[in-house]
Amino acid sequence: MQITDREDVQPGDIVSWGALGYVHQGVATSSPELWEGQIAVSGGLDWWPNFLWAERR
């Protein structure tokens, strides 16, 4: 199932985001240390404005 609304993304979803001219993928995680506008993906952080879509298994 493809998710285009970032509010619907849950930990475990496969997230795709654009940065540095590439499309990156990772698994969404939860982190209590996130700043407003950040997403935790595969042990790293990125910004929600870079979010493209997610997929739920």
Are 15 and 39 in contact, with CB atoms under 8 Å apart?
Answer: yes
Per residue of the chain (57 residues), give pLDDT as tens.
999 998 899 889 999 988 888 998 889 888 777 777 778 887 677 888 888 999 998
Tell me which residue of 5, 12, 3, 18 sits closest to 54, measured CA to CA: 3
Domain boundaries, the chain: 2-55
